[in-house]
Structure 1
Amino acid sequence: MDALMLARWQFGITTVYHFFFVPLTLGLSLLVAIFQTAYVRTDSDTYKRMTQFWGKLFLINFAMGVVTGIVQEFQFGMNWSEYSRFVGDIFGAPLAIEALLAFFLESTFVGVWIFGWGRLNKGLHLASIWLVVIGSNISAFWILIANSFMQQPVGYTLRNGRAEMTDFGALLTNSNLWMQFPHVFTAGVVTASFFVIGISAWHLLRKKGDIDLFRKSASIAMATAMIATVLVALVGHAQSQHMVKTQPMKIASAEALWDTESPASFSLFTIGDETANKDVFSIKIPTLLSILAYNSTTGEVKGINNLQAEYEKTYGPGDYVPPVWVVYWSFRSMVGSGTLMILLSLYGLYLVMSGKLTARSWYLKLMLFAIALPYIANTAGWMMTEIGRQPWIVFGVMTTEKGVSTSVGAESVLISLVIFTLLYGALAVVDVYLLAKYARDGASAKPGNPEEADLVGAY
């Protein structure tokens, strides 16, 4: 394996691992803020203990996300130095703003929230956690500005062998950004909701400890899960329609659509031959892909073979087809997990509203394992988004092979790849241990202030 392939593997492994923590941070900070708001409004000690308990798990996840995210910056400067040199004028600006504005806001008020129990009045302390929520999501917003430029480059000009920013406003109004950000935010809420429901289900099954706390936690999380899963689907649908216009090769690969069709069929199951670029076996629903792409029974969806020929005319000779099987099955893993989460949250909300949640032990057991579903969907969605863009690192402007460093050899990348993989594996063990430990311990049934030392220890 050469330096390019090793660098791609390293970035893929570290980013997938980092993205385990990001959606939960975005969503769980919001749920903790909702629980604390309920506490401030009602002065209920149950809501106070809910805030404390879920706050501990949020802090563990937040700390791990910060640690794993730092590595990403170093890779841009080392393994992908040619990419950074080429687009640094554009790519670096939103990342710098994210660090100086959003991350500092987020991390500062996390500290205020941890040490503010019993020192700040309720209103100010509540404001600190809401500022954490705002900071976390602003952080995601600025990172997605940078990523959206890679997906749909805007506001730049090529000068002196580099892409230079000419319109910062165009980055902020990039249509890809306004499809991506709502999808990431709602996916974060789904992740946190299923996380809260799953852990609450475990305690409700045991029928020990603070049952009222976990019943209320599950009820609130079930409502947010129902709303967020539907929103994820709706935003994802709009995102796919946008993709048909801006990255047609990605959507063609996601459907294993080899040749242009009008109207186009939706693939339920396809086994393809990527060497010959044709189907070996497929089950398709006629016209459905055109309906999904255009909200109409008519509409042309371009195929892989046609787009390859079109791209060769536009960009010159080359292979412009991503690994179709990866994109195809990533898309189905994401959509399949999302559909299952909608059904589970819909039925769960019915159980909550009818007062039968604790009586359905089979459902509670199922929801414990369902914690994995949003993680599968998030990872599969990220893989489809990034791998489906290949061979471009900046779509239509720079190929991935041209972005890799020319001075970092394969051996150096291999050594750092092995070290990062082992280190992240060790951190994964620590993270799972801490989350499981605090989740099993439950919340203190004693009234009064949360134990600050416990929160600091969790962090």
Structure 2
Amino acid sequence: MFATLDAVDLARWQFGLTTAYHFIFVPLTIGLSFLVAIMQTIWVRTGKAKWLQLTRLFGKIFLINFAMGVVTGIVQEFQFGMNWSNYSRFNGDIFGAPLAMEGLIAFFLEATFIGVWIFGWDKLPKKVHLVSIWATAIATWISAYFILAANAFMQNPQGFVINEERGRAELESFIAVLTNPVALLQFPHTIFSSIMFAGTAIIATAAWHLKRNQHHAQMLSALRFGIWANLLAFVGVGVTGHELGIVMTATQPMKMAAAEAMYESASGADASFSLFSLGTPDGSAEIFSVRIPYLLSFLANGNFDGSVEGIRDLQADYQALYCGADSALTCPSDGNFAPVIWITYWAFRWMIGLGVIAALVSIVGLWLTRGGRTAPKWAYTVAIWAAATPMLASIIGWVFTEMGRQPWLVFGVMTTEQGVSPGVPAWAVLISLIVFTLVYGALAVVEFKLITKAAKAGPEEITEDDAAAAHDDTTDNTRYATVY
């Protein structure tokens, strides 16, 4: 039975599933830490009870999500030693450096200041306490940057040399690793997409209560706040995504060609973008498509008359470049340098389409609630269901990023099949895959129930007098400890 299993494919499935599951929590943590900090800032500046209530409500959701993100994230590091030991041995000197910095600097800052924020409500002056949530948000962003720098090395390796004697890659410039152009654009793109997700979570929570005519003043403010966060972040996602596409074309041209399923090189009007396409079963020929002329050229080059290399030309170039005499790590066993075309093609479109849907829902919501109006109940229902769209867009975006890199584990340096652990049998990987899937599935149920319970409970009862007393640093706030 196990003889037909492929350890490489199973290891890829395991890492892909655990990473996708972990990334459900990451963007919500990144986005909510920032938006909760803004809510608390508004309360500190205005003293209005509703903003204290919203800070407390969404702060609780943030804490639940943060805890679950830590639990699921720990597994990621272990997988490098479990299933990808060849990769860890060969590239660990470079890849491990930003991950070590993330643990030693960013995570400790997060853990410290989040504790101060949790337990400091009735013990610290309001402005000092406010600093703790901003420090948590900043540490979360720093953590994200180090992790994205590690991933950017896999997309566009730089800052290293190959030690032929020891048979491994060694770090030459940590600055080069941190200033990788892919990381410099992946970071704001990820931050903006995370704010979109957090914004829609706030929108959905507010819509659930408004649909039931509960906490109208607080939830209308939360709804409008989430809508503006979502729309402004969407603009940031679009701008940074376009710039990231240009860098991607320069560093990984095969990924851009696969994103359009473009087998022949093209330029100008011929470098068109297909909104929808049907092809032959092997994907090598087009039967029908709906296309926008020049758009692919713009996405890939930033202008309308640039050229985009096709899959066949790139395949020939890569064959000559990476399948020479000394190609043990850089030539796939089947000699194919193209990723799975249909996955890359549709992931690129779903990533964009789901983000656009989230923005459109926010635009409609902004119009329906203008001037403090109450939106129809159907609009609130749509807003609740639309909460998942930025999350799905982010997960699919990572599917595109990682699947589009295949067959490379580190582009131009090591193929995926060369990075797997040689001594781990397929049956062992299968068992751990099943166990992780079951455990993560159970955690998903727990996470969903905890967050929905907190969201449905709504804001705590805090009067304007209590909020004003908490807002006044000269007041003995210990008697309000039960409020917090």
TM-score interval, smaller chain: over 0.9
Aligned to 1:23: 27
Q: Is 1:233 aligned to 2:233, yes or no?
A: no
Aligned to 1:214: 219
Counterpart residue type for residue 126 of structure 2 = K
Distance in 2 between the 1:79 and 1:381 partners? Answer: 24
Deviation of 1:274 after TM superposition, in Å, equals 6.1
- Residues 161-240 of structure 1: matches in 2 within 5 Å? 161-208=167-214, 210-240=215-245
Distance in 1 between the 2:283 and 2:220 partners? Answer: 55
Deviation of 1:78 after TM superposition, in Å, equals 1.4
Q: Is 1:321 aligned to 2:327, yes or no?
A: no
Counterpart residue type for residue 200 of structure 2 = F
Contact kept in structure 1, 2:90 and 2:167, CA below 8 Å: yes
- Secondary structure at the aligned position of 1:444 is classed as coil
> Which of 292, 304, 314 is equivalent to 2:299?
292
- Residues 248-267 of structure 1: matches in 2 within 5 Å? 248-263=253-268, 264-267=271-274
Deviation of 1:85 after TM superposition, in Å, equals 0.4
- Secondary structure at the aligned position of 2:103 is classed as helix
Structure 1 residues 170 and 132: CA distance shift in structure 2, 3 A: same
> Which of 3, 6, 11 is equivalent to 1:7?
11
RMSD: 1.6
> Which of 93, 107, 113 is equivalent to 1:109?
113
Contact kept in structure 2, 1:274 and 1:324, CA below 8 Å: no
Aligned to 2:383: 367
Deviation of 1:249 after TM superposition, in Å, equals 0.7
Deviation of 1:392 after TM superposition, in Å, equals 0.2
- Residues 350-389 of structure 1: matches in 2 within 5 Å? 350-356=367-373, 358-389=374-405
What per-residue deviation string (whole Å, max 9, x for no partner) do you get for residues 83-105 of structure 1?
00001110111101100100110
What per-residue deviation string (whole Å, max 9, x for no partner) do you get for residues 255-288 of structure 1?
1111111221111212233636222332322222
Please list every run of 5 or more consecutive structure 2 residues that lacks an aligned counterpart in the other structure.
324-330, 471-479
- Secondary structure at the aligned position of 1:393 is classed as strand
Contact kept in structure 2, 1:191 and 1:374, CA below 8 Å: yes
Q: Is 1:149 aligned to 2:150, yes or no?
A: no
Deviation of 1:440 after TM superposition, in Å, equals 1.0
410-419 vs 8-17, greater mean Cα deviation: 410-419
- Secondary structure at the aligned position of 1:20 is classed as helix
Instruction: Say how many residue pairs are matched.
Output: 453
Structure 1 residues 454 and 290: CA distance shift in structure 2, 3 A: same
Q: Is 1:412 aligned to 2:428, yes or no?
A: yes
Deviation of 1:333 after TM superposition, in Å, equals 0.6
Aligned to 1:330: 347
Q: Is 1:88 aligned to 2:92, yes or no?
A: yes
What per-residue deviation string (whole Å, max 9, x for no partner) do you get for residues 346-380 of structure 1?
23233444333x23332222111110101110111
Q: What percentage of aligned pairs have identical amino acids?
A: 51
Deviation of 1:411 after TM superposition, in Å, equals 1.5
Distance in 1 between the 2:72 and 2:41 partners? Answer: 30
> Which of 40, 50, 54 is equivalent to 1:46?
50
Distance in 2 between the 1:13 and 1:422 partners? Answer: 11
Counterpart residue type for residue 46 of structure 1 = K
> Which of 348, 360, 377 is equivalent to 1:343?
360
Larger radius of gyration: 2
Contact kept in structure 2, 1:277 and 1:305, CA below 8 Å: no
Contact kept in structure 1, 2:462 and 2:483, CA below 8 Å: no
Q: Is 1:120 aligned to 2:124, yes or no?
A: yes
Distance in 2 between the 1:207 and 1:170 partners? Answer: 54
Distance in 2 between the 1:311 and 1:237 partners? Answer: 26
Please list every run of 5 or more consecutive structure 1 residues that lacks an aligned counterpart in the other structure.
none
> Which of 302, 308, 314 is equivalent to 2:309?
302
- Secondary structure at the aligned position of 1:144 is classed as helix
> Which of 392, 417, 420 is equivalent to 1:401?
417
Counterpart residue type for residue 446 of structure 2 = V
Q: TM-score, normalised by structure 2?
A: 0.91
Structure 1 residues 215 and 74: CA distance shift in structure 2, 3 A: same
Distance in 2 between the 1:276 and 1:108 partners? Answer: 52
Aligned to 1:268: 275
Distance in 1 between the 2:113 and 2:54 partners? Answer: 19
145-154 vs 210-219, greater mean Cα deviation: 210-219
